[in-house]
Amino acid sequence: LALSLPAVSGVTYWGLTPNLKGAQRAAAAGLRALAVFTAASETFSVKNTNTSIAASLAGLRDVAGFAQREKMKLRAYVSTCFVCPYEGRIHPARVADVALVLLEMGVSEISIGDTIGSATPSQVEEVFGLLLKHAPASSWAGHFHDTHGGALANVKAALDLGVSIFDASAGGLGGCPFAPGAAGNLATE
């Protein structure tokens, strides 16, 4: 398996991988950047990946070590950072607990996810305000779904705090089968 995407100046192709085997396959295909994922909600973690947050982070530690040895970029996504479809509101300290473990592993950028699109700007300010006490704005990204039409307001709230990296998708596509009722990601346009 070899990467058949064209090399484009300024473009980084990321391989989304759940484990070490996926990371090794991505490297063998020629990718130089990996993205991993976990959650801030225990129930969502189990439903999405069939593993606890702690077990998920243990597996990601192996991926992080591999990425460091191979000199690959490493980005992480943390789902359900504001509201979980199973547990309700997530306390910002739970998000910080997960994010700090990822930072300690050497993850260079962490995308904080509003998986079901229910966050409010005040929640965004609270979560990113706490995270910014631990790492600069360049370490953080936002991943907002637009279920209730608030994704752009949430981007603005994060921008006002200095966060300038955001995920988006063509036409607002995306979502997760374990996030009932959630709309797609914020549309790039």
pLDDT tens column, 100-119: 999 999 999 999 999 999 99
Please identify which of the residues 19, 176, 187, 189 carries the catalytic annotation: 176
CA–CA–CA angle 151, 179, 116 (5° rounding): 20
Parallel, antiparallel, or unpaired for β 88-89 and 73-79? unpaired
Task: Give me the pLDDT at residue 186, please.
Answer: 82
Please determine, for residue 181, whether its predicted confidence score (pLDDT) is greater than 80: no
**What percent of the chain has a predicted confidence (pLDDT) above 90?**
78
Could you tell me the two tokens for 159?
A: 């921008």
Stronger pLDDT, 152 or 169, i.e. the higher one? 152
What tens digit of pLDDT does each residue of 22-76 get? 999 999 988 999 999 999 999 999 999 999 999 999 999 999 999 999 999 999 9
Helix (H, G, I), strand (E, B) or coil at 55: helix
Beta bridge partners of 77: 37, 111
What tens digit of pLDDT does each residue of 140-162 get? 999 999 888 899 999 999 999 99
What tens digit of pLDDT does each residue of 73-97 get? 999 999 999 999 999 999 999 999 9
Task: Give me the pLDDT at residue 161, please.
Answer: 98
Band (pLDDT 50/70/90 cuts) for residue 3 is: low
60-64 long-range contacts (CB < 8 A, ≥24 apart) are: 60/36, 60/102, 60/105, 61/105, 62/19, 62/20, 63/17, 63/19, 63/20, 63/22, 63/23, 63/34, 63/36, 64/36, 64/105, 64/106, 64/107
Task: Give me the pLDDT at residue 179, please.
Answer: 75
Q: How far is Cα 50 from Cα 126, in angstroms, rounded to an integer?
A: 29
Task: Give me the pLDDT at residue 2, please.
Answer: 61
Spatial neighbors of 175 by CB under 8 A, at least 6 apart, are 145, 182, 183, 184, 185
| Site of tokens 């910080």 | 96
Parallel, antiparallel, or unpaired for β 73-79 and 83-84? unpaired
C-alpha closest to that of 131 among 97, 160, 83, 155: 97
176 is known as an active-site residue:
yes
Task: Give me the pLDDT at residue 53, please.
Answer: 97
Residue 43: count of CB within 10 angstroms of its CB: 14
Please determine, for residue 7, whether its predicted confidence score (pLDDT) is greater than 90: no
Q: How far is Cα 66 from Cα 25, in angstroms, rounded to an integer?
A: 12
pTM (2 d.p.): 0.93
Crossing angle of helices 53-69 and 42-49, rounded to 10°: 70
Task: Give me the pLDDT at residue 177, please.
Answer: 67
